[in-house]
């Protein structure tokens, strides 16, 4: 995601008329018959935006089934994971495919002496759909996380040290990051409507933060797990010191306890 944003946003915005890459960008102007590679980069950028939020929602539902449906948790995700992921990957195509089909090109902006990547697809409409999807997934994630928190709040203090409590914290922290990315997405929507040339400071801020925010949303889960799980921290430490994971740090799914009276070591 970062490199995709870098190619479509930061690299053209950092190239002036006299820079080494200017000749390449000039060859991708509006008069060029080929839209590749920028139509693909634009498509990937927005499609992954849908998928990032979908992944957060899917993670929240995964934690919900772990807490509320322990007996059927393994069966649900063993047989349904690839089907669910495939459906969720294909759903955004109805909104993002026009980007792939429409012409994309690079345009020189003499006011800022930089280049801007553009597409003939209706980005304003696409941003509206994306923001609606962000709101829907955030509300659903908040609802599911609230149910999980209510369930966990009924546990004893000792029981709260169990696996599902740690995994719920991962979902909750990810939800906070999700809210931050939504704010950046709103800035980009306003920028697409009122400042497509990225001349305003707020537009440039949104453009600069977008790759970091989306990568943070996508890649934060393992780091949050390391923060909240002592067992995983010990495993990572053992890996860097000894070159392999500690055997005691790996717990098979079928060994996840179903009794609420036995505290976990995680």
pLDDT for position 244: 65
pLDDT value at residue 256: 41
Q: What does the DSSP assignment read for 195-219?
A: -TT--SHHHHHHHHHHHHHHHHHHH
- Residue 263 falls within a domain, yes or no? no
Q: What is the mean pLDDT of residues 248-265?
A: 44
Q: Is residue 260 part of a domain?
A: no
User: Are 105 and 35 contacting, i.e. CB atoms less than 8 angstroms apart?
Assistant: yes
Whose CA is closest to 256, among 67, 80, 59? 67
Distances, alpha carbon 89 to alpha carbons 21, 55, 93, in Å: 34, 10, 8
Q: Is residue 171 part of a domain?
A: yes
The residue written with tokens 């994306």 in the block is 130
Q: CATH number for the domain including 168?
A: 1.20.1070.10
Contact 138, 175 (CB under 8 A): yes
Number of domains in the chain: 1
The predicted pLDDT at position 2 comes to: 67
The contacts of residue 144 (CB under 8 Å, 6+ apart) are 57, 60, 61, 63, 64, 171
Rounded Cα gap, residues 111 and 251, in angstroms = 59
Q: Which of 116, 229, 138, 228 is nearest to 183 (CA)?
A: 138
Q: Is the pTM of this model over 0.95?
A: no
Q: Helix 123-153 and helix 93-101: axis angle, to 10°? A: 150
Mean pLDDT of the chain: 81
* C-alpha dihedral sign at 180, 183, 187, 188: positive
Please determine, for residue 254, whether its predicted confidence score (pLDDT) is greater than 50: no
Q: Is residue 170 part of a domain?
A: yes
Q: Percentage of residues in the chain with pLDDT exceeding 90? A: 25
The per-residue pLDDT for 139 is: 92
CA 240 to CA 224: how far, in whole Å?
A: 18
Range of the domain at 163: 2-244
Express each pLDDT in 180-217 by its tens digit: 888 888 888 888 788 776 778 888 788 778 767 767 77
What is the arithmetic mean of pLDDT over 131-136? 91
- Would you give the end-to-end CA distance of the chain in angstroms? 32
Q: What is the pLDDT of residue 197?
A: 67
pLDDT at 253: 44
Please, which pLDDT band fits residue 242 given cuts at 50, 70 and 90?
A: confident
In a domain, 255, yes or no: no
Tens-place pLDDT, residues 49-73:
898 888 888 888 988 998 899 899 9
- Read off the pLDDT band of 136 (50, 70, 90): very high
Three-state DSSP string of 101-135: HCCEEEEEECCCCEEEEEECCCHHHHHHHHHHHHH
Phi, then psi, of 102 in degrees rounded to 5: -90, 160
Residue 87 falls inside a structural domain: yes
**Two tokens at 116?**
């801007």
Assess if residue 222 is contained within a domain. yes
In a domain, 88, yes or no: yes
pLDDT per residue as tens digits for the range 75-110? 999 999 999 989 988 999 999 999 999 999 999 988
**Euclidean distance between CA atoms 188 and 199, whole angstroms:** 13
Residue 163 is predicted with a pLDDT of 59
21-42 pLDDT per residue, tens: 999 999 999 888 888 889 999 8
């Amino acid at each position: 995601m970062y490199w995709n944003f870098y190619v479509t946003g930061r690299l053209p915005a950092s190239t002036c008329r006299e820079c080494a890459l200017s000749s390449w960008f000039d060859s991708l102007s509006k008069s060029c018959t080929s839209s590749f590679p920028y139509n693909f980069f634009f498509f990937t950028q927005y499609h992954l935006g849908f998928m990032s939020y979908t992944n957060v929602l899917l993670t929240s539902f995964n934690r919900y089934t772990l807490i509320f449906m322990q007996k059927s948790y393994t069966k649900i995700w063993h047989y349904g994971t690839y089907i669910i992921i495939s459906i969720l990957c294909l759903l955004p195509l109805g909104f993002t495919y026009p980007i792939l089909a429409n012409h994309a090109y690079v345009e020189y902006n003499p006011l800022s002496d930089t280049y801007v990547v553009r597409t003939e697809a209706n980005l304003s409409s696409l941003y509206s759909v994306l923001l609606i999807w962000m709101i829907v997934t955030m509300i659903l994630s908040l609802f599911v996380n609230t149910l999980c928190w209510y369930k966990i709040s009924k546990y004893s203090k000792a029981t709260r040290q169990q696996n599902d409590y740690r995994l719920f914290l991962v979902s909750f922290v990810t939800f906070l990051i999700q809210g931050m990315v939504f704010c950046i997405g709103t800035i980009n929507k306003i920028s697409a409507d009122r400042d497509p040339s990225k001349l305003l400071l707020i537009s440039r801020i949104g453009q600069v933060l977008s790759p970091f925010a989306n990568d943070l949303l996508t890649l934060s889960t393992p780091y949050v797990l390391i923060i909240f799980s002592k067992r995983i921290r010990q495993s990572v430490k053992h890996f860097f010191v000894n070159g392999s994971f500690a055997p005691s740090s790996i717990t098979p799914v079928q060994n996840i306890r179903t009794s609420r009276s036995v505290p976990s070591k995680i």
